[in-house]
A = this chain, B = another copy of it.
Amino acid sequence: MTPTFHDRAESLVQRTGARVTRQRIEVLAILLSARRALTHHEVEDRANRSLGIDRVTVYRVLEWLTAHELAHKIAGEDRVWRFNAAGDEGGRSHAHAHFKCNDCGDVICLDEVRAARDIRLPSGYRSQAVELTVKGLCAECVPARKHS
């Protein structure tokens, strides 16, 4: 549906060396074209409409994309995975934060923010990753009034 995203997706999938399938390209293109993190359901909806891709395949492709660092998973507090295209940067790791809108549920990445590293843990504990989620209202859900 969106040639540019489709082409970028195809190129990214090819670069992994694994099989290049319509399903992988299409799902990745859907993620690339979204400006926010999509739930499995949202991806399935679009993938199904455009290509009739199966529920399970969408799950498997999303998992595959995550494993190959073409997408990354975000755990929302509503027990639903959300997926974002990792874009061309590849392994930009999980050093960035997320913003989750409490009203519409949208999730976006806050790339500029790197979570503080100087966190004191109990003795013996070792930190591997820091996940920072800011919750609030996105621009579209903030009521018209301007004061806090």
Residues of A within 8 A of B (CB): 73, 75-81, 97, 99, 102, 108, 110, 112-113, 115-116, 119-140, 142, 148
**Residues on the B chain within 8 Å of A129, using CB:** 134-136
Contact of A134 with B127 at beta-carbon distance under 8 Å, contacts A75-B79, A79-B75 already known: yes
Q: Are B142 and A124 in contact (CB under 8 A)?
A: yes
A93: min CB distance to chain B, Å = 13
Q: Are B110 and A119 in contact (CB under 8 A)?
A: yes
State in angstroms the CA–CA spacing of A108 and B119 once bound together.
14
State in angstroms the CA–CA spacing of A120 and B113 once bound together.
7
Sorted nearest first, the 5 A-B pairs with minimum C-beta distance are A124-B139, A75-B77, A128-B136, A127-B136, A79-B79
State in angstroms the CA–CA spacing of A125 and B73 once bound together.
22
State in angstroms the CA–CA spacing of A129 and B120 once bound together.
21
> In the complex, which residue of chain B has the Cβ closest to the Cβ of A79?
B79
A131: min CB distance to chain B, Å = 4
State in angstroms the CA–CA spacing of A97 and B80 once bound together.
21
**Residues on the B chain within 8 Å of A142, using CB:** 124-126
The listed residue (B78, B120, B135) touching A131 by CB distance below 8 A is B135
State in angstroms the CA–CA spacing of A131 and B77 once bound together.
10
State in angstroms the CA–CA spacing of A75 and B75 once bound together.
8
Contact of A113 with B119 at beta-carbon distance under 8 Å, contacts A125-B142, A135-B128, A135-B131 already known: yes
5 new A-B contacts at CB < 8 Å, known A115-B116, A126-B148: A75-B75, A123-B139, A125-B138, A126-B136, A130-B134
